[in-house]
Structure 1
Amino acid sequence: MKQIIIIGGGAAGFFCASNLDETKYKIIILEQNSDVLQKVKISGGGRCNVSHACFDPRELVQFYPRGNKELLSVFTKFQPGDTMEWFDKRNVSLKIENDNRIFPESNSSQTIINTFLTEIQKKNVEVKTKCVVKEIIKENEKYIVKTSTGEFEADYIIYATGSSPKSLKIVENLGHKIIDLVPSLFTFNIKNDLIKDIPGTSFEYAEVSIPKLKTEESGPLLITHWGLSGPAVLKISAWEAINLARLKYNFEIEVNFVSKTIDEAEKLFQNFRQSNPKKTIGQSKIFEVTNRFWQKVLEISKVDLNKQVSNISGKEMQMILENLCKKKLQVTGKSTFKDEFVTAGGVDLKEINFKNMSSKILSNFYIAGEVLNIDAVTGGFNFQACWSEAWLIAQDLNLK
């Protein structure tokens, strides 16, 4: 019986093992940590954001800053609908939330973990934890995997280690080209009086642009203790990951907190002034922002909160509108988004056959997951790439 060694006990590794034909192969998973499926456990705040309800592969690939062209063929063979069906067959109910993210009905990542553990138990897959791979040597048609707990021999290798520099070095030593790693999906560190002391303040729809890179994203926005976060910031950080690394995370952004042009905002202001002339500006609900944020805007615009709306000067109004619609903020660094660290960079995609995720450089060697130069915005997309790639590998091996 031929031996498959899966290096990496994460999403891609386990999904692959769960779909392999155990009557054909002896399967071993090697994981360097003491626990498997660690990212699955913490994903979605411990609820596990399994995938995203986007069932058209052409639309789905738009969420991947790197890998979108290559993944099109992958998703035509296995996409989020197939993921839902796979779990459904194993009696795991999934639900689609309002923002199209897919979670288990149980709201617990343990449900997903238990499903994988049950599957691999049925298939007699051996899992070795605290087993650090040091080197892989190709000998004729076989691979020798040298680890901290001894040597293993494999007919086939599935390399699904995630994007640690050490694991990339191993595959580089085997002849693969590695695209430098840079963080993707991060929040912006900003010190500015407008957002000081109001963490937790959120905006349903805002626009964030980086003038220097001529790029813009929109979506929900969140003020944090250290700056700005939320989908609008995370999306722009993912798409511009390489450029922002080049700028050493020092750059200027422009934020439109209300997603309105200055002219549109001015019209709203004038209409409100006409119908509520006696109201104090501090108590006026002109825009869809929280009271705390509104008062902060007035404070930095140097407008007296007790002034009546009718007495606001043209200059004061322009200051308020600039701070709401065109606020320039200096970013001075980044913070990792939660524990779900995602990187851009990894194994060069030109060296992978996306029909079955096999290496074009090494025979009987497959690569999947974050070790590849593929990454996505937040919302279940990174996991979906893992499921789809792993499924293709399993199908290819099952036909051998």
Structure 2
Amino acid sequence: MRARAVGAKTGIVDGMKVRDPVTPERPDALVIGGGAAGVFGALALAEARPGARVVVLERAREALGKVRISGGGRCNVTHHLFDPALLAQGYPRGAKALRGPLSRFGPRETVAWFAARGVALKTEPDGRMFPVTDRSQTIVACLLEAARNAGVEVRTQTAVTAVAQAPGGFRVTLKGGEGIHSPLLLLATGSSPQGHRWAEALGHTVVPPVPSLFTFNVTDPHLAPLAGVSVPDARVRLEGTKLEQRGPLLLTHWGFSGPAVLKLSAWGARELHARGYQVALRVAWVPEHPEALRERLRAFKADAPRKLVRAHTPLPLPARLWAALTARAGVEETRRWAELSNRDLGRLADELGAGRFWVTGKGVFKEEFVTCGGVALGEVDFKTMASRRVPGLYLAGEVLDIDGVTGGFNFQNAWTTGYLAGRAMAEALAEGGANVGAVTSWSTSSQAL
């Protein structure tokens, strides 16, 4: 099916340059944002309402840019947690609101949707799900082909400069002065500040966005040579708070990374932002009860009194990390276990169970950038993703105050909210009939609405 052109200008449609007609057909629905939520929402609408004129506006050169780079170019599509209650626990913000939506379109439905279109997903040991090809292009190609088959027009290199309510729906102004009018609008602009400004202009409250998924910059001479060393089970805690997480921890050239740190950055996003990312971090390299840890050290001292402390550890830690932590605890390189006093053992146990490191800033998690913040969730009907404040407006994806931890949670939010929004928009079109909204195109050179 040939893509339809909308707006009196030259644009790029599905990679092909086209010239729009002077009198274009008028879209039944507009989607601003050609990311995962926007494209999936447009697809859900078009597949549920064949013949509907659906247009996606994307300012970048290509649609689905974040899908292309996610997961190191493999695309972490979703997570293998099919129980909505368990899956919802992966969202520091939005867990309660997403419980219902995830029960209607969750990972199980996502897997089935892609499978029906020839894309099989595989599950890795940690629950992350990727295409069996290990290529994000597989997902991108599937979505764009589905869009073409459904008659969705994806217009790239099409910048929106303004969004406003107008008689019969919404007026969207494009760069250059052209514009489009449509009765239904899906705002799927991700964490873009521009999208948040449009939501505010339309009457919504926006929770100020701050970074939500990042690594910690830590400068420590003992740990500097250990980049690449990891431990499978550590506990990290922000000093002076109740915020803590447990899981694998990775040492990097700049500090700390790994699932434990990333989860802590997500749940502690606002606290860390308020402190300017200058905070003390407590690390339990072996997350045991303090007294149990001391007892293990005392028992090893009794069993191996003549062995060098730095060279022999009773704990499941990498040798180089053990040596660095004993040095931080003040144990000299030549000290033997028999020479450690009870005070020395206590100091070493404290270092292992609650080592104190100073965080000096945040890094970026791979190429991905996630924020918390966005349109206040109480202003959205999560059965339909419709705005409670603006008739005809729908919202999906990261434009909302929802963010997930790493592992496919953020994409699942996009698939879920996009799907529900698209289906609800299709129902709105069906209820309104063929002439819903009395749409009109306009430009600055013609009569404005």
TM-score grouping bracket, smaller chain normalisation: over 0.9
Q: 1:239 and 2:264 equivalent?
A: no
> Which segments of 5 or more consecutive residues in structure 1 lack a partner in the other structure?
none
With 328-337 and 357-366 compared, the bigger mean Cα shift is at: 328-337
Contact kept, 8 Å, 1:190 with 1:227, in 2: the verdict is: yes
1:276 corresponds, among 304, 311, 315, to 304
Contact kept, 8 Å, 2:31 with 2:187, in 1: the verdict is: yes
Q: Which residue of 2 aligns with 1:365?
A: 393
SS in structure 1 of the partner of residue 189 of structure 2: coil
Q: Which residue of 2 aligns with 1:77?
A: 104
The alpha-carbon deviation at position 96 of structure 1 amounts to 1.1
2:378 corresponds, among 350, 353, 356, to 350
Q: 1:120 and 2:130 equivalent?
A: no
Contact kept, 8 Å, 1:3 with 1:153, in 2: the verdict is: no
Q: 1:19 and 2:44 equivalent?
A: yes
2:220 corresponds, among 186, 192, 196, to 192
1:91 corresponds, among 100, 118, 121, to 118
For residues 376 and 358 of structure 1, what CA distance do their matches in structure 2 show?
21
Deviations 1:26-48 (A, max 9, x none): 11111111121111111111111
SS in structure 2 of the partner of residue 288 of structure 1: coil
Q: Which amino acid aligns with 2:136?
A: S
The alpha-carbon deviation at position 173 of structure 1 amounts to 1.0
- The number of residue pairs the alignment matches comes to 400
Deviations 1:148-200 (A, max 9, x none): 15212222111101111112111211111111111111112222234222111
TM-score, scaled to structure 2:
0.86
Larger Rg: 2
With 319-328 and 100-109 compared, the bigger mean Cα shift is at: 319-328
Q: 1:221 and 2:249 equivalent?
A: yes
Q: Which residue of 1 aligns with 2:15?
A: none
Q: Which residue of 1 aligns with 2:32?
A: 7
Task: Could you list the structure 1 runs, at least 4 aligned residues long, displaced by more than 4 angstroms after superposition.
Answer: none
For residues 224 and 114 of structure 2, what CA distance do their matches in structure 1 show?
44
Q: Which amino acid aligns with 1:171?
A: A
For residues 312 and 364 of structure 2, what CA distance do their matches in structure 1 show?
37
The alpha-carbon deviation at position 219 of structure 1 amounts to 0.7
Q: Which residue of 2 aligns with 1:292?
A: 320
The alpha-carbon deviation at position 2 of structure 1 amounts to 5.1
Q: Which residue of 2 aligns with 1:147?
A: 174
Contact kept, 8 Å, 1:193 with 1:300, in 2: the verdict is: no
1:56 corresponds, among 80, 83, 93, to 83
2:200 corresponds, among 172, 175, 182, to 172
Deviations 1:20-66 (A, max 9, x none): 23523111111111121111111111111111111111111111111
The alpha-carbon deviation at position 9 of structure 1 amounts to 0.6
With 300-309 and 252-261 compared, the bigger mean Cα shift is at: 300-309
Q: Which residue of 2 aligns with 1:311?
A: 339
For residues 381 and 192 of structure 1, what CA distance do their matches in structure 2 show?
33
Contact kept, 8 Å, 1:134 with 1:170, in 2: the verdict is: no
Contact kept, 8 Å, 1:2 with 1:24, in 2: the verdict is: no
With 53-62 and 262-271 compared, the bigger mean Cα shift is at: 262-271
For residues 158 and 200 of structure 2, what CA distance do their matches in structure 1 show?
20
1:375 corresponds, among 387, 393, 403, to 403
For residues 222 and 180 of structure 1, what CA distance do their matches in structure 2 show?
30
SS in structure 2 of the partner of residue 186 of structure 1: coil
SS in structure 2 of the partner of residue 336 of structure 1: coil
For residues 196 and 263 of structure 1, what CA distance do their matches in structure 2 show?
29
The alpha-carbon deviation at position 16 of structure 1 amounts to 1.4
Determine what percentage of the aligned residue pairs are the same residue.
38
For residues 346 and 65 of structure 2, what CA distance do their matches in structure 1 show?
50
For residues 37 and 262 of structure 1, what CA distance do their matches in structure 2 show?
48
For residues 377 and 361 of structure 2, what CA distance do their matches in structure 1 show?
29
Deviations 1:245-271 (A, max 9, x none): 112212212110111233222222233
Contact kept, 8 Å, 1:31 with 1:131, in 2: the verdict is: yes
Q: Which residue of 1 aligns with 2:19?
A: none
Deviations 1:2-30 (A, max 9, x none): 52111101000111122223523111111
Q: Which amino acid aligns with 1:36?
A: A
For residues 77 and 23 of structure 1, what CA distance do their matches in structure 2 show?
22
For residues 194 and 182 of structure 1, what CA distance do their matches in structure 2 show?
31
Deviations 1:201-244 (A, max 9, x none): 11101011123222221111111222211111111111121122
Contact kept, 8 Å, 2:384 with 2:420, in 1: the verdict is: yes
Q: Which amino acid aligns with 2:124?
A: E
> Which segments of 5 or more consecutive residues in structure 2 lack a partner in the other structure?
1-25, 431-449
